[in-house]
Structure 1
Amino acid sequence: MGAVTAFGPVAEHERTRVLLEAAIGRLVELVGGIGDLEVPSGVPVWSVGDVGAHLAAVYLAYGTAVPGERHGEAAGRIDWDALPAVREGTFGARIAAVNALSVGLVAGAERKRLGVILAERGAAFLRDSAGLAPDTPVPAPWYGPGRTVPLAAATGLMLSETLVHGLDMARGIRRPWALAPEEASLVIGQAMVTMMPLALDAERAKGVRIAFDLALKGGPRLAVVVEDGAATVTRDPAPRPYDCRITADPVAFLLVSFGRVPVWKAVTLGRMRAGGRRPWLATRLNRLITAP
C-alpha cells in the first residue's frame, strides 16, 4: 500500500473509512477464531475478551455520538455524567475511568457474541457517518465536558483502536496481525493532529518550549509545538525553525506512541531517528504527550 502523500481532506477521510471497514472485517475474523477469550492479551491485566469488550464500547460510543438519525442501540449509550473522573479529572484520569467502565459493558455470556457485536457496531458507525463532512463535530464527552472532535479524527481514532487492539488480541492468541504504512499514516494525519494536544501532560509541560518537526516516511508531516503547558499540532506546516526533527516509519511511530513497541527498539531497527539542532530532545515527546 502507498502512504499518505498529500492532504486532501475529503479524499483522505474517505480512504480512512475504506481502511476502517477492512480492518473491522479482519478484526471480526480474528475474534471468530478465538477459542478462549480469557487468555492474557498484549495489555497488562486485560484478557483478550476484555480488549474485545473495550473495542465494542469504543464502537458504541462513537456510533451513538455521530450526528443525525440514530439506529439501534440508543439504550446502550453510556451516561458519561455519572463518571466524576470524566467530568472533573485530567485527560489521563478520564481515559482510565472510561477504560475501566468499557471492559464490563460486554460481559458474561454476551462475550460469546463479541464478533457479531463488533461487526454490527462497526458497520453502524460507518453507515451513520456516511456522507458527512470530515469536519463535522462529533461529541466526545469522555475527553471532557462539552468536548467534540472532527468526524475525520473520530474515524481515525476508530481505525487506531481497531489496529492497536487487534494487535493486542493477536499477541494474546499468538496469531499474526499486520499494520500497513498507509493505515498508520492515516491514523497519524487524521486523528493524532487532534489528539496530541489533548494528551499533553500539562504539568510536565509547564515552562517547556520545544518545537518538534515530525516527518513520517511517505507523509504526513507535523509541527508539534509545546509551549508553557499547551501544545499545537499543525499538518503540513509552513517552514519554521525547529529544535528537534524526528523522522520515522509511520507504523513504528504509531506503535511507539501507543506503548506497544519501546522507542529503543524502533531506533535500533532504524525505523526512527532524531536530528536537528537538539536531537536529544526527541525522547521528551513521549513523556510530554502520553499514550491514551
Structure 2
Amino acid sequence: MTREITADQWRSVRRAYRVTGARFAEMVARVPDPGAMVTAEWTVADTVAHVALIAKMYRSLVRPESDPLLDAREQDQFEKTTVDTVFVLNKMMLQGLPERDIGVLVAGLLADIEEVLRVTEDADPATLLDWLGSSKVPLAGVLAHLVNELQIHGWDIARALKLPWTIPPGDAALFFELFLVGVVTHGIGHLADTDEPPRERRIAVAFRSAYTSPVVLVLHRGRVTVEEPGGPVDARISFDPASLNLMLFHRVGKVRSALTRKIVVSGRRPWLLPAFLRVVRLP
C-alpha cells in the first residue's frame, strides 16, 4: 500500500526543514564550550558535525550531478548499513570531517539546507532516493529525517547543557508519517537485518496520534509492510509524536513514556509488541 504525500505535508516538511535548522543553529551558537560532552562519546562540536554531515549528504542526494560526498569505502558501508551498524558509518564520516569550529559547521549546515530547498522547490515529494542499507525513501521522507535529527540532537545538547529546546509535535510527526512509513512502504533494504530468524507469527500494530493519519504496520516472516486501518490488530499505540521519537531513539525510556501517558499501548495481544519492536527499531 502506497500513501500519497499531500501538498500540505510537502509544505510542512519544507517549512520544518528550514525552521528547525535555524532553531538548532541559534541554540548551538549560544553554547559557551563546544568541547562540552553531550553523550559518552560526542562533544557539542561532534554532534553539530554529525548533523551537518547529514545535511551535506542530503544535498548530494538531491544533486546527483555534483561531486559525491562519500568515498568508495564510505559508499560501501552506506549501502550495507543496518540499524545496528549505522554507528560505523557515523564514525567513518566524522573521522573524514576534521572541522569542529561550530561557526563553520553551522554556516555549512544552513547553506546545505537552503540548497536542498532550492533544488527541490518544483520536485515531486514522492521521488524515491537511495538511502542507508539499500533502502528507498521518498524525497519528503529524507527531509523529515533531517528534521528529526535536528530535533533529537538538539534535545541532546539542550539536556546536557541545560538550554531551552522544544520539539513541536506537528513537526515531530513528519518523521513517523513521511520517513518511517515511507521507508517501510518502499523497501527497507538491509536496515532491519539481524541474526535472528524470521518469526512465522504475523504481528499487526496500529499507530494513531492527533497529528498523523491512522496506519497499521505489519511484521510477518521478517518483512514489514504498511496496511490501512480497519482490520484485526494485535496492539494499538496512541502516541505523542515527540515522545515516540525520543523513545525510539532511546532518549526516553518506555516506562517513563507509559507513565506520563505520552504513549499508550492497548489491544488484544499487546505482549507481542516487544517482538515487533525488535525488528521495527531505530539506532
TM-score by length of 1: 0.85
2:69 is equivalent to residue 77 of structure 1 = yes
Q: Residue 105 of structure 1: CA displacement?
A: 4.0
Secondary structure at 1:220's aligned position in 2?
A: strand
Change (3 A) 1:210 1:204: farther
Change (3 A) 1:108 1:282: same
Provide the rounded CA distance (Å) in 2 between the counterparts of 1:247 and 1:35. 39
Change (3 A) 1:261 1:108: same
2:192 is equivalent to residue 200 of structure 1 = yes
Name 1:53's counterpart in structure 2: 49
Residue 168 of structure 1, aligned match among 129, 136, 156: 156
Name 1:283's counterpart in structure 2: 274
Provide the rounded CA distance (Å) in 1 between the counterparts of 2:140 and 2:197. 27
Q: Identity over the aligned pairs, expressed in percent?
A: 24
Change (3 A) 1:104 1:155: same
1:258-282 per-position Cα deviation (integer Å, ceiling 9, x unaligned): 1111111000111111111112223
Q: Which amino acid aligns with 2:277?
A: N
Q: Residue 242 of structure 1: CA displacement?
A: 0.5
Q: Residue 15 of structure 1: CA displacement?
A: 0.9
Name 1:230's counterpart in structure 2: 223
Determine if contact 1:81/1:87 at 8 Å carries over to the other structure.
no
Change (3 A) 1:58 1:257: same
Name 2:133's counterpart in structure 1: 143
Determine if contact 2:172/2:245 at 8 Å carries over to the other structure.
yes
Alignment of 1:261-276 (within 5 A): 261-276=252-267
Deviates more, 1:256-265 or 1:217-226: 217-226
Change (3 A) 1:8 1:113: closer
Q: Which amino acid aligns with 2:69?
A: R
Q: Which amino acid aligns with 1:130?
A: E
Name 2:203's counterpart in structure 1: 210
Provide the rounded CA distance (Å) in 1 between the counterparts of 2:84 and 2:232. 31
Name 2:174's counterpart in structure 1: 186
Change (3 A) 1:11 1:287: same
Cα RMSD after superposing both structures: 2.4
Name 2:19's counterpart in structure 1: 22
1:132-184 per-position Cα deviation (integer Å, ceiling 9, x unaligned): 111112233x433xx44210111111111111111112222220110011011
1:22-42 per-position Cα deviation (integer Å, ceiling 9, x unaligned): 10010111121122111111x
What are structure 1's unaligned runs of at least 5 residues?
A: 1-5
Determine if contact 2:208/2:237 at 8 Å carries over to the other structure.
yes
Determine if contact 1:201/1:289 at 8 Å carries over to the other structure.
no
> Which consecutive aligned stretches of 4+ in structure 1 deviate over 6 angstroms post-superposition?
none
Residue 62 of structure 1, aligned match among 45, 50, 58: 58
Provide the rounded CA distance (Å) in 1 between the counterparts of 2:81 and 2:165. 34
Provide the rounded CA distance (Å) in 2 between the counterparts of 1:206 and 1:279. 19
Q: Residue 119 of structure 1: CA displacement?
A: 1.3
Secondary structure at 1:226's aligned position in 2?
A: strand
1:84-139 per-position Cα deviation (integer Å, ceiling 9, x unaligned): 5444454432x222211232344246444122121112212222221111111223
Determine if contact 1:181/1:251 at 8 Å carries over to the other structure.
yes
Provide the rounded CA distance (Å) in 1 between the counterparts of 2:98 and 2:75. 20
What are structure 2's unaligned runs of at least 5 residues?
A: none
Provide the rounded CA distance (Å) in 2 between the counterparts of 1:109 and 1:88. 28
Secondary structure at 1:245's aligned position in 2?
A: strand
Change (3 A) 1:205 1:188: farther
Q: Residue 209 of structure 1: CA displacement?
A: 1.9
2:92 is equivalent to residue 101 of structure 1 = yes
Determine if contact 1:23/1:159 at 8 Å carries over to the other structure.
yes
Q: Which amino acid aligns with 2:216?
A: A
Name 1:31's counterpart in structure 2: 28
